Amino acid sequence: MQSTSPQPLALSVSELNREAKHLLETHFDWVWVEGEIGNFTAASSGHWYFTLKDEDAQVRCAMFRRANSRIKYRPAQGESVRIRARASLYEGRGEFQLICEHMEPAGAGALQLAFEQLKSRLAQEGLFAAESKQAIPSAAQHIGVVTSATGAALQDILTVLNRRSPHSKVYVFPVAVQGDGAALQIAEAIHLADRLHREQVLPLDVLVVGRGGGSLEDLWAFNEEMVARALYAATIPTVSAVGHETDFSIADLAADARAATPSAAAELISADQTELLQVVDGMSRRMARSLNRLLAEHNTRHSALRKRLRDPGFAMKQQKLNLERLRASLQQNVRQHLATARSDTRQTHLRLIAQHPRHALARHRSQLTPLYRQLTLHMQHRLKDAKAEAMHKQSLLRSLGPEHILGRGYAIVTDSSGKVVRQAQDTAAGDAVRVRLQRGTLTAQVTGQSSD
């Protein structure tokens, strides 16, 4: 009988992949790998999946949302990057992969690349367009400042304003200007200042947003998208004053105006009181000269008028004489007017008496009697003539009437409908006809016709 050797212990696929994953993760510590991005995919879950490759090989990579949220820029297909990752194996498919925890561009710095990417994208959206910029007041009275309450930038602004425009009021919105959460504080402070301005709680003329100088990392809060959008949405004019003269930020592009430094921002929005005093002094001198010239002209005119002015007593005496003369003339005119009016009244009274209605009635009554007799005679003659003419016309009508014709032996024949029969052809044999005589009517029947 042949003996059989024991079968070797077999691993399941899952166990094999699990062991391989364990070996990889325990053998390799964190590694830095440089290569070119390929097959980049941003999943709806927020995770990134891509391959990292060089001329001879490639490896699958995954960067989960928690890690990629810290990246300042978004990688693109074909970019060369350096990643810090740990080696692992995806058990479900038995695929070797790298779990990426950090990514930066190979060559150019990550922050500079992120700056250029955000600048390009916001410019395409129109956040930096010149036509959307508001005018900055040159002599602001109420100034809002978004910056660190303990930073040198605030002291620089206050120093310049105290020197140039000490009457201006400054409202500080203290924020962190670098580090985690600084961008959110700055954006919220801008929104708060703008809301207080719109609700007329604070009568702000302008809002200055900025800080002192520093490295690109120190100034990065002012390169965040949320700060740029807050500046663009503000209804109050905004000035960005970030860093030194050579520093440039996204906030500088999104604000209505850029100042090279916080001190320059304070000078931009304030009027120098020394210059104003010089202007006022010059205006005062010009006004004094104008007033002196006007007074001299008025004095000269007054002297000339005084020489031309006559003694008021003499003028009053002349006016009194004119008044007496006018009063006498008025009295005479009134007397003449009254006399004329009385004469006209008497003549009018006499004419009214002569034209009284009773005199006209008497005259009309004397004329009425002969006219009445003439009218009566005329009517009698007309009636007599009318009767004679009517009798004549009546005899003519009687001689022309049918009764007179019937009296001479003629008759009127009508058919059964009462229509006069004028010709024998208008009847037919057997038709009933009526024959009207001078006295009485005959009923007959047609038995024959003759055209004679």
**Per-residue pLDDT of the chain in tens (452 residues, 90 and over written 9):** 455 666 677 767 777 777 777 777 677 778 888 888 888 999 999 899 999 988 888 889 999 999 888 877 788 887 888 888 988 888 777 788 888 998 877 755 667 777 888 888 999 999 989 899 999 998 899 999 999 999 889 999 999 999 988 889 999 999 999 888 999 999 999 999 999 999 999 999 999 999 988 777 788 899 999 999 999 999 999 999 997 766 688 999 999 999 989 999 999 998 877 766 677 777 877 888 888 888 888 888 888 877 777 667 777 888 888 888 888 888 898 889 888 888 888 888 888 877 778 777 877 778 888 888 888 888 889 888 889 888 888 888 777 767 777 777 778 888 888 888 888 887 888 888 888 887 888 888 888 877 66
| CATH code for the part of the protein at 13-107 | 2.40.50.140
Query: Is the domain 138-274 a CATH 3.40.50.261 member?
Result: yes
Spatial distance between the Cα atoms of 129 and 152, rounded to a whole number of angstroms: 31
Spatial distance between the Cα atoms of 229 and 225, rounded to a whole number of angstroms: 6
Spatial distance between the Cα atoms of 14 and 344, rounded to a whole number of angstroms: 146
Residue reference for tokens 């003659």 = 381
CA angle in degrees (0–180, nearest 5) for 384-385-388: 90
Element (H, E) at 136: none
- Number of helices (H), then strands (E), belonging to the chain: the values are 12, 13
CA dihedral of 299, 300, 306, 308, whole degrees rounded to 10:
-160
All structural domains of the chain with their residue ranges: 13-107, 138-274
Half-sphere exposure of 269 (CA within 13 A, CB side): 37
Spatial distance between the Cα atoms of 196 and 366, rounded to a whole number of angstroms: 110
Spatial distance between the Cα atoms of 411 and 409, rounded to a whole number of angstroms: 7
Residue reference for tokens 């008759």 = 411
Q: Is this prediction's pTM over 0.75? A: no
Q: What is the DSSP letter of 420?
A: B
Distances (CA, A) of 384 to 375, 393, 394, 395, 396: 14, 15, 16, 17, 19
Number of residues in the chain: 452
* Contact in structure between 76 and 37 (CB atoms under 8 Å): yes
